Amino acid sequence: MLRVSQNSSGQVKLSDFGISKELDSSTAMSHTAVGSYRYMSPERLLGDKYDASGDVWSVGITIVQLWTKQYPFSAVADTPIDLSSEIERMDVDRVAPRSRFSQQMRRFVRSTLMIAPDAR
């Protein structure tokens, strides 16, 4: 999982907590609950098994945050349950508004933030 922060000079910093797990194959699934819930995919928030598509979700959230300099669910991300509920009702137009994202970038964000893991 990546962590994105901004220092007092406005510089964006990316950090990796070093949390990873080696799987037996590229189609293997994991079932761990380690990492920052704010970047977890919907299936991870629900405690379901997940695969690399969960990382695609995390990258999408990170890209939006880097682009807008704001975590996209900051108003509702107090708990994993609140965040999960918001994601179920998520509108990509709100997360990546036309006024701030090019059509190409919106397509990219939409492709990373699909609710169904196999669609990412």
The pLDDT tens digits for 73-97 are 888 778 888 899 889 888 888 889 8
**Residue 13 binned pLDDT confidence (cut-offs 50, 70, 90):** low
Number of residues assigned to the chain: 120
Burial (0-12, 13-18, 19+ Cβ within 10 Å), 117 = buried
Q: Spell out the domains of the chain, with CATH numbers in brackets.
A: 2-10+36-115 (1.10.510.10)
Average pLDDT, the chain: 81
Closest CA to 72 of 60, 81, 80, 82: 60
Q: Evaluate if residue 118 carries a pLDDT over 60.
A: yes
Tokens of 48: 């379901």
Whole-prediction pTM value?
0.71
**Residue 120 binned pLDDT confidence (cut-offs 50, 70, 90):** very high
